[in-house]
Amino acid sequence: MATIKDVAKYANVSTTVVSKALNGYTDVSEETKKKVLKAVEELNYSPNMLAKNLKQKVTKSIALIFSNFEYSNGKDGVLFKMMTGIFEAASHYNYEVLLYTRNLSEQQDKSYWQFCKEHKVSGAVITGLKTTDPYFLEIVDSNFPCVVIDADITGMHTGSIMTDNVEAAKCAVQHLINHGHRHIGMVNGHNYAVVSKERQEGYRQALEQNGLKYDPSLVVNGDYTEEYAYELADTYLQAHPEMTAVFFASDLMAIGFMSRCRELNVHIPAKLSIIGFDDIVLSSYTTPRLTTVHQDFQHMAFMAFEQVIRILEKQETGQHQKISFHLVDRESVAML
């Protein structure tokens, strides 16, 4: 593991200059800062932030980073539930939480590892990460304590946590099959999320385990948005008149699709059964009330924070954790 002396030697400066550059002192030139940061990145140097914080007697801090924040939709309440879980864990373990948002251009300019180091945090929980995001794999290789929500990546200092999406999707589709449905479609999110791939795999497995053919043409992407699902409803329904039920990879997409169905006089669940995923607050207020898979986002965030603490304080190796789910049976699925 690289030391501050290694960085100083690589950048051809003193250790004092390295320390000043990394701590934002104004008496270090921009050119020197760039040299130091380049050395830091190439040597994969990371100071022991926890030890530093304890030595300086400052509050220990963990960052909660919302990646791709500009594309998030507060309507589903997911981010609020995650923040609640994070703050609950931070209070329990006597840590301070720093909230950061990162858009795509910022991610291209600076890695998560470098971003966290510059902000002097001890560890991080990241949510909203896509497999196409810059520096996705760098997280695994870094020595910075970090846990990613809704991903499946592990390393010595990196963990991840998510709902068991394959089993959850199988549960949802099995519920439709148990109600007599045999022609079941799926509106997925997008191709750049681990959860999308797992939910589609669960959908496929449920069909095949019940002797039903998996037809890829019945799977379309709704980009996890209410608006996009609303717009695709017309062509999707027209292309598959035999379809009696649809499994949605998120409640927001199900809600948007149901809204368009009302305008088209496609009665739910008499004509078409709908099942969602997430169990957001709005799902219990739709007409009819939405049957869905419940995810405990607050507990997920709490566990992510806990794992960061274990990696940070106990030097545990990062791991991939799966949390439980359950089906919430309401009114949007009919028996054939």
Tens-place pLDDT, residues 73-129: 667 888 889 999 999 999 898 898 988 876 555 545 666 667 777 777 888 898 887
Q: What number of other Cβ atoms are within 10 A of residue 108's Cβ? A: 11
- For domain 1-44, the CATH superfamily is lambda repressor-like DNA-binding domains (1.10.260.40)
Predicted confidence (pLDDT) per residue in 250-306, tens digit: 999 999 999 999 999 999 999 999 999 999 999 999 999 999 999 999 999 999 999
Cross-strand partners of 98: 63
Instruction: Please report, as a single letter, which amino acid is at residue 20.
Output: K
The CATH classification number of 165-295 equals 3.40.50.2300
* Fold held by 45-162+299-323: Rossmann fold (3.40.50)
Q: Which residues of 79-90 are buried (b: 16+ CB within 10 A; e: fewer)?
A: bebbbebbbebb
Domains 1-44 and 45-162+299-323 share a fold: no
Question: Whole-prediction pTM value?
Answer: 0.79
- Examine the pLDDT at 1 and tell me if it is beyond 80: no
Predicted confidence (pLDDT) per residue in 201-259, tens digit: 999 999 999 999 999 999 999 999 999 999 999 999 999 999 999 999 999 999 999 99
Instruction: Please report, as a single letter, which amino acid is at residue 307.
Output: Q
C-alpha atoms less than 13 angstroms from C-alpha of 18 in its C-beta half-sphere: 21
Q: Which of 13, 30, 99, 16 is nearest to 62 (CA)?
A: 99
pLDDT at 170: 98
Residue pair 298/138 in contact (Cβ under 8 Å)? The answer is: no
Question: Could you tell me which residues come within 8 angstroms of residue 189 by beta carbon, excluding any fewer than 6 positions away?
Answer: 195, 196, 199, 221, 222, 223, 224, 249, 250, 253
**Angle 30-43/4-11 helices, nearest 10 degrees?**
120
How many residues are recorded in the chain? Answer: 336
Q: Which of 150, 145, 137, 115 is nearest to 40 (CA)?
A: 115
The domains of the chain are located at 1-44, 45-162+299-323, 165-295
DSSP 192-257: T-HHHHHHHHHHHHHHHHTTPPP-GGGEEE-TT-HHHHHHHHHHHHHH-TT--EEEESSHHHHHHH
